Each structure stands twice: as C-alpha cells, then as structure tokens.
Structure 1
Amino acid sequence: MADTIEIINERVFPVDRQTLYAAFADPAILARWWGPHGFTNRILAFDLVPGGKWLITMTASNGTDFRNRWSFSEVKEGRFIRARHHEPVHVFTLEMSFADDVGGARLTWRMLFDRTEENEAIWHLLKAANEQNFDRLSAVLK
C-alpha cells in the first residue's frame, strides 16, 4: 500500500482478553489511560457500536485541550474494534485486535494514515506515543 502509512504496536498484558477489551469499552476506565503520558481525558460521548461516535477532549499537562472526534465502523465484542479519527488533526483509521495469548491477552493496535508529507514526518512520534498509551493501560490494569 504505497499510498498508506501503517503503524503497528502490540503488547501482551497479564489479564484475560475480556478484561483487556473492557479497559477500552468502559469509558470510565478508558479515560484513565488514553493518550500519551501527561494527558487527562473527558469523554463526552461514547457509543461503541458500528456507526457510533466517540467524542473525547484530551488535555495536555500544560492545559491545552485537544478535542477529538471518532466514529466506530466495526465492533466485535471482546475481539476487534475499527474506528476512524476525524478532523481536526491526524485523520486515520485505528484497528484494535484483542487475542488470547500465553500469559494474558495481546492487544494489536494498527493505525492507517494516508501518505502525506506531514504524516511521513510524524509517524515515528506516533509509534512512540502509542507505547506510552500501552504503558498507561498497563498501569491501570494492575
């Protein structure tokens, strides 16, 4: 896919697959870990069904708010979520796969971006930010 940039992060968490899935599917838990280090979250809408929307305001440690608008296109409870992140920044598709694994459950996070000059310049930063997301998720699951 020459016109697409793909970012994949994955990690095995020491919980069962349903617990891992619930950490995303429950907005109260999701708000505690979403985003890179230093962010807090306010979830204004969260309808985890195909066609549902997700509105979240992420606040950076300096107080700057980032309003994010998502829509869900595919949801297979406990197994898979596909969502689209819309404007204002970084339009992309996120696929989250949840699978049983030795020692727990594996989360595979796949982001798909159109190949643009801006996205070419930032993809490595987003891959690192995703690892921070996983670190925060890991802390919540303990």
Structure 2
Amino acid sequence: MASTHLDNPPIISTRLVNGSAKSVFEAFRDPEILAQWWGPKGFTCTFREFDFRPGGDWLFVMHGPDGVGYEITYNFIDIVPAGRIVLRNPQPTHEFQLTITFEEEKGSTRVTWTMQFQSPQEAARVREFVIVANEQNLDCLEEQLTTLAA
C-alpha cells in the first residue's frame, strides 16, 4: 500500500538567510563553495562527481567527526536557477526526495528544505536525527554566506 502524507509526513526545515536567491542558489550550484559548507556540524565532504543538471549525479563522501566516511549519491531531478533544486537519494534502505526552494523576502532568502522518505518506517527511524542534521546544515550554509559576503 502506498504511503500518504498522513502516515509519512515530510521533514521540513526552513531558514531566512541573508542574500539574494541568486547568491544563495550559487552556494548550492558551485561545487567549490558547496564542499566548504555541506553537511552537519563537524562533517566534511570529498566530492567525486558533481553534474549539476537534471539527470546528473552527485557522488561524494561525507566524513564524520569520528573519521567514518559515508558514501552518498544524489540524482538531480529538477533545477530552477534561484528557485528550486530537487534531488533524489536512491539508496534502497534510505530513499528520499529532497526539495530545496529559494524565495526572496525583503533582501533575504527563505530556504525551505523538504525531505520526503519513500518508507514511513525509515522516516520515523531517522526523523529526530535528520531534523537536527538539517538545522546544522542550514547553520553551515549561513556561515558560508557570511564568509562570501565579507
């Protein structure tokens, strides 16, 4: 039976950040900038492939503060410059779609991060961790935007 939003609600984080939608989008589009901030606090990334276009792949290793490396693959589904990025994590046990939107609000940009897991059980299992990790990722984005603006 297919899950619905009632039994599998998306995980949503939102943040108002300084900068235009164009400049915030650029922090996602440029792999050199993205590699400097992507991931929760204490994590670093090594990008292996970054083909930023619908149908392209993003393969990287996320290195945890404990030294453990996590191999991650995303497929880019949809990209609207300064508007939206839609990615899919195809890992069978952790499959989800991530939609990131950028909406300008009086000189700032509201970034909304929506994760929809394929499995309600997996979503329930990781929900608390993912909420914290997404907030930390947005913290890292804000820090990077401040650095870029300086």
Q: How many residues align?
A: 142
> Partner of 1:83 in structure 2?
87
Q: After the TM superposition, list the runs of 4 or more consecutive aligned residues in structure 1 that deviate by more than 4 angstroms.
A: none
Alignment of 1:1-142 (within 5 A): 1-87=5-91, 90-142=94-146
Q: Quote the Cα distance in structure 2 between the aligned partners of 1:112 and 1:51.
A: 19
CA contact 1:12–1:103 (8 Å) conserved in 2: no
Displacement of 1:113: 0.7
CA contact (8 A) 2:8 2:123 kept: no
Distance in 1 between the 2:120 and 2:14 partners? Answer: 24
Does the CA-based 8 Å contact 2:74-2:88 persist in structure 1? yes
Question: How far 1:103 sits from its partner (Å)?
Answer: 4.0
**Sequence identity (%):** 35
Q: Which runs of 5+ in 2 are unaligned?
A: none
SS in 2 for 1:4: coil
Displacement of 1:89: 5.4
| In structure 2, C-alpha distance between the alignment counterparts of 1:11 and 1:51, rounded to whole Å | 27
Report the CA distance between 1:24 and its aligned residue: 0.4
Structure 1 segments unaligned to the other structure (5+ residues): none
1:125 CA displacement: 1.6
Q: Structure 1 CA distance, aligned partners of 2:143 and 2:93?
A: 27
Q: For 2:101 and 2:25, how far apart are their aligned partners in 1? A: 9
- Is contact 1:68-1:86 (8 Å) kept? no
Q: Distance in 2 between matches of 1:5 and 1:113?
A: 9
8 Å contact from structure 2 (residues 36, 44) kept in 1: yes
- Return the offset for 1:108: 0.7
Q: TM-score normalized by structure 1? A: 0.93
- Deviation for aligned residue 1:3: 4.9
Q: How well do the aligned residues superpose, as a CA RMSD in angstroms? A: 1.4
- Check conservation: 2:95, 2:119, Cα contact below 8 A: no
Which has a greater percent of strand? 1
User: What is the distance in 2 between the residues matched to 1:29 and 1:36?
Assistant: 15
